[in-house]
Amino acid sequence: MGSANKGSSGDAIRVILSVLVLVVLSVWLLAKLFTSGMVVDAEVMSKEAIAARLKPVGVSVANEGGAPGSRTGEAVYKAICSSCHAAGLAGSPKFADAGAWAGRISQGFDSLVKHAVEGIRGMPAKGGATDLTNEEVARAVAFMANAGGAKFAEPKVEGAAGGDAKVDPAKGKEIYNTVCQACHATGAAGAPKFGDKAAWAPRIGKGLDDLVASATKGLNAMPPKGGYSGSDAEFRSAVEYMVNASK
Ligand code: HEC
Ligand code: HEC
């Protein structure tokens, strides 16, 4: 009896012990699995989150030099204005939504800029970024309105750290000689010929800003920026060079 009791209580202890060992083991294994899984997740998340957060703002502003006053409309839009206007938050006219912008654009550029600088109803002054210069806001307004169907000329970036702000007048000539003359020297494909006053007069009549805007966008056989890949300011200097030679 005694030995049988001893035997069965020994069995019970062994069973309890092995259950305990199993429980401890599986808890340890589960803990291992979870922590390693979470470490991986956290790594992926932080990489993705960092990429998502830093790319649009960091890259675009850095590309433009980023110095206050020198940021382009696109850089300002991406860094600041897109937080509401990309999705049309709080009743803001949504980016590239021509229907939402048409009525606003009809107020004219100056009035839009004034409202964006001073704020209007749900639109905070300067989109809440008070360190923006009025020029930068104007550039962002041009960039946004143009995406919504307007044809405003974005105010030029002056004194940019990037270096293309003060464009050497010789630059326009150089760009013409290397890029634009391919069509404009002979008037190929209906291009207004360099120095041909009659061909240029009606175009010049539109005003320099409009000329630059349409040539930047491209017009019929005129490719966007004439295929030139440099900055807008440099491209403008090439238009100025051509216009001045054809007045
Ligand atoms: C916090 C959200 C928010 C941010 C950020 C923001 N906007 Fe707006 N914006 C609005 C709203 C809302 C309206 C519509 C206001 C109304 O007409 O009631 C608006 C309207 C506008 C208009 C049209 C004004 C008019 O006269 O019809 C312009 C232009 C504009 N925003 C430019 C900008 C620019 C440029 C930036 C970045 C520098 C910017 N917004 C950032 C919310 C925002
Ligand atoms: C592949 C040929 C081609 C090249 C290269 C080219 N253009 Fe043109 N460009 C044209 C044609 C064609 C037109 C006339 C478009 C029309 O009115 O239908 C034109 C028109 C223009 C106009 C007048 C736009 C207007 O609104 O009337 C300007 C300004 C201009 N080009 C500037 C330039 C500059 C600056 C360059 C060089 C950076 C350049 N183009 C390179 C073909 C070219």
Q: What is the CATH number of the domain that holds 188?
A: 1.10.760.10
Answer whether residue 89 shows pLDDT above 90.
yes
Q: Which ligand is nearest to the CA of 85?
A: 1
Q: Flag whether 156 is in a domain.
A: no
Q: Flag whether 126 is in a domain.
A: yes
Are residues 53 and 83 located together in one domain of the fold?
A: no
Q: Which of 147, 177, 202 is the last residue of a domain?
A: 147
Are residues 59 and 92 located together in one domain of the fold?
A: no
Q: Which of 220, 222, 229 to mutate to test the pocket of ligand 2 (most atoms within 8 A of CB)?
A: 222
Q: Flag whether 182 is in a domain.
A: yes
Answer whether residue 161 shows pLDDT above 70.
no
Range of the domain at 221: 169-244
In short, whether 138's Cβ falls inside 6 Å of ligand 2 is: no
Q: Which ligand is nearest to the CA of 103?
A: 1
Q: Which ligand is nearest to the CA of 212?
A: 2
> Residue 16 — very low, low, confident or very high, per pLDDT cuts 50/70/90?
confident
What is the total count of domains within the chain? 3
Express each pLDDT in 178-214 by its tens digit.
999 999 999 988 999 999 999 999 999 988 889 999 9
**Among 26-35, 120-129, 193-202, which is the least confidently predicted range?**
26-35
Q: Which of 116, 147, 178 is the last residue of a domain?
A: 147
Are residues 45 and 105 located together in one domain of the fold?
A: no
Are residues 57 and 81 located together in one domain of the fold?
A: no
Give buried/exposed letters for 203-218 (b at 16+ CB in 10 A, else e).
bbeeeeeebbbbbbee
Q: Flag whether 129 is in a domain.
A: yes
What is the mean predicted confidence (pLDDT) over 159-187? 78
Token pair in block for residue 82? 């897109």
Express each pLDDT in 41-65 by its tens digit.
444 444 444 444 433 343 333 333 3
Q: Which stretches of 106-217 are DSSP H helices?
A: 109-118, 134-147, 169-175, 181-184, 197-204, 208-217
Are residues 178 and 135 located together in one domain of the fold?
A: no
Q: How far, in Å, from the CA of 6 to the mean position of ligand 1? A: 85
Are residues 135 and 183 located together in one domain of the fold?
A: no
Q: How far, in Å, from the CA of 147 to the mean position of ligand 2? A: 22
SS3 category, 123: strand
pLDDT of residue 184: 95
In short, whether 228's Cβ falls inside 6 Å of ligand 2 is: yes
Express each pLDDT in 220-242 by its tens digit.
999 899 998 888 888 999 999 99
In short, whether 106's Cβ falls inside 6 Å of ligand 1 is: no
Are residues 56 and 77 located together in one domain of the fold?
A: no
Are residues 106 and 136 located together in one domain of the fold?
A: yes
Answer whether residue 8 shows pLDDT above 90.
no
Are residues 100 and 58 located together in one domain of the fold?
A: no
CA dihedral 239, 241, 243, 247 (to 10 degrees): 180
Are residues 53 and 80 located together in one domain of the fold?
A: no
In short, whether 85's Cβ falls inside 6 Å of ligand 1 is: yes
For residues 179 and 168, the model is more confident at 179
**Among 34-38, 39-43, 120-124, 190-194, which is the least confidently predicted range?**
39-43
In short, whether 75's Cβ falls inside 6 Å of ligand 1 is: no
Q: Flag whether 68 is in a domain.
A: no
Are residues 103 and 122 located together in one domain of the fold?
A: yes
Contact between residue 65 and residue 160 where contact means Cβ atoms under 8 Å apart:
yes
Longest dimension (CA), the chain: 125
Q: Flag whether 155 is in a domain.
A: no
In short, whether 175's Cβ falls inside 6 Å of ligand 2 is: yes
What is the mean predicted confidence (pLDDT) over 83-102? 95
In short, whether 247's Cβ falls inside 6 Å of ligand 1 is: no
Which numbered atom of ligand 2 lies nearest the CA of 221?
Answer: 12
Q: Flag whether 199 is in a domain.
A: yes
Q: Flag whether 162 is in a domain.
A: no
Which numbered atom of ligand 1 lies nearest the CA of 77?
Answer: 37
Contacts of 71 (CB under 8 A, 6+ apart): 61, 64, 65, 79, 132, 136, 139, 157
Q: Which of 115, 147, 179 is the last residue of a domain?
A: 147
Are residues 239 and 176 located together in one domain of the fold?
A: yes
